[in-house]
């Protein structure tokens, strides 16, 4: 197991898929700060380490200026659309996290705290458009954890966690139903690959979460909430109830939110694109 010395506090700021969209990310951070969030968690497809360009480096520098001014870290759980070659060039600390200024990229799996709640995290997801991407140019096999990496989270001898932060989501009946109409859009092999990865994620989540636990996710680019019964893996196959809260991406409805860890309530909203652009232009004109 790998327990990081991080406490996200009682009110956790949540940010859905960013895909390198800095105006969205910065506006989301400003709004979460204004709402009094104790911490900032980005739920994968961060995309701010993608092409290594001067433009991208300037963006990371602007992001760090904002985080330093607020004295906040941005805690990132990696998704599937990340350049893992670039991520791996950042030297990991003893706890396997990677830090770029105030951006803390969590390792593949592990545990931390949020107020009185125990929290697990598990990064990555399977790309359903894998065959349309170029290996190690726009798709990396590292998008999925190895067999060993989740052992930093899933431990039969350790107490279960209340909350799981992830990029992929619980593949329950409501999510399957919602995705059913788009299944014919994808290459059959890609679809089988992504769905199998999501089933493996779901098995790991059901093994590590306590009954009534909550999974916070990105990846699907829509806002989704479901409270469903799952079966724990193993011989006993005990039924447990888990809640899934998926945040959307960038400018879509429900891409930003706050988790109250005392009640496990999640409140989400969306970021107005025009307002974010005006704020971002004012910020970059000031800081450049
Ligand atoms: Fe995404």
pLDDT tens per residue, range 197-207:
999 999 999 99
Cα of 256 to ligand 1 centre, how many Å? 14
Q: What is the pLDDT of residue 287?
A: 53
Cα of 221 to ligand 1 centre, how many Å? 6
Pairing, β 265-269 against β 256-260: antiparallel
Q: Mean pLDDT across the stretch 143-147? A: 96
Q: What is the pLDDT of residue 102?
A: 98
Cα of 250 to ligand 1 centre, how many Å? 9
Q: Which of 34, 36, 46 is nearest to 9 (CA)?
A: 36
Measure the CA–CA gap between 177 and 14, rounded to whole angstroms: 25
Cα of 19 to ligand 1 centre, how many Å? 6
Measure the CA–CA gap between 186 and 188, rounded to whole angstroms: 6
Measure the CA–CA gap between 288 and 286, rounded to whole angstroms: 6
Domains of the chain: 3-287 (3.60.21.10)
Q: Is the pLDDT of residue 284 over 90?
A: no
Contact 164, 209 (CB under 8 A): yes
Q: What is the pLDDT of residue 206?
A: 96
Q: Which two three-digit tokens encode residue 12?
A: 């956790």
Cα of 180 to ligand 1 centre, how many Å? 18
∠ at Cα 13 (262, 1), nearest 5°?
75
Per-residue pLDDT of 193-244, as tens digits, reads: 999 999 999 999 999 999 999 999 999 999 999 999 999 988 878 999 999 9
Q: Mean pLDDT across the stretch 132-148? A: 95
Would you say the pTM of this structure is higher than 0.85? yes
Cα of 116 to ligand 1 centre, how many Å? 30
Cα of 159 to ligand 1 centre, how many Å? 31
Cα of 68 to ligand 1 centre, how many Å? 26
């Amino acid at each position: 197991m790998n327990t990081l010395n991080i406490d996200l506090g009682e009110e956790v700021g949540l940010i859905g898929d960013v895909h390198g969209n800095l105006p969205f990310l910065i506006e989301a951070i400003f709004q979460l700060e204004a709402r009094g969030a104790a911490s900032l968690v980005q739920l994968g497809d961060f995309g701010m380490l993608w092409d290594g360009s001067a433009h991208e480096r300037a963006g990371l520098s602007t992001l760090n200026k904002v985080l330093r001014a607020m004295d906040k870290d941005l805690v990132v759980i990696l998704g599937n659309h990340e350049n893992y070659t670039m991520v791996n060039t950042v030297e990991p600390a003893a706890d396997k996290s990677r830090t770029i200024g105030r951006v803390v990229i969590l390792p593949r799996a592990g545990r931390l705290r949020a107020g009185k709640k125990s929290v697990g995290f598990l990064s990555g997801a399977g790309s359903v458009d894998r065959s349309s991407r170029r290996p190690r140019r726009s798709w990396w096999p590292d998008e999925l954890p190895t067999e060993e990496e989740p052992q930093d989270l899933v431990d039969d001898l350790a107490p279960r966690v209340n909350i799981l932060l992830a990029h992929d989501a619980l593949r329950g009946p409501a999510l399957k139903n919602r995705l059913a109409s788009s299944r014919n859009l994808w290459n059959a092999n890609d679809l089988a690959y992504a769905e199998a990865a999501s089933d493996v994620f779901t098995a790991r989540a059901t093994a590590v979460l306590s009954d009534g636990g909550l999974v916070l996710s990105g990846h699907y680019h829509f806002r989704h909430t479901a409270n469903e019964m799952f079966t724990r893996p193993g011989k006993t196959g005990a039924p447990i109830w888990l809640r899934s809260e998926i945040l959307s991406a960038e400018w879509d409805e429900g891409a930003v939110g706050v988790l109250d860890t005392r009640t496990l309530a999640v409140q989400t909203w969306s970021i107005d694109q025009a307002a974010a652009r005006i704020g971002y232009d004012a910020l970059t004109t000031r800081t450049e």
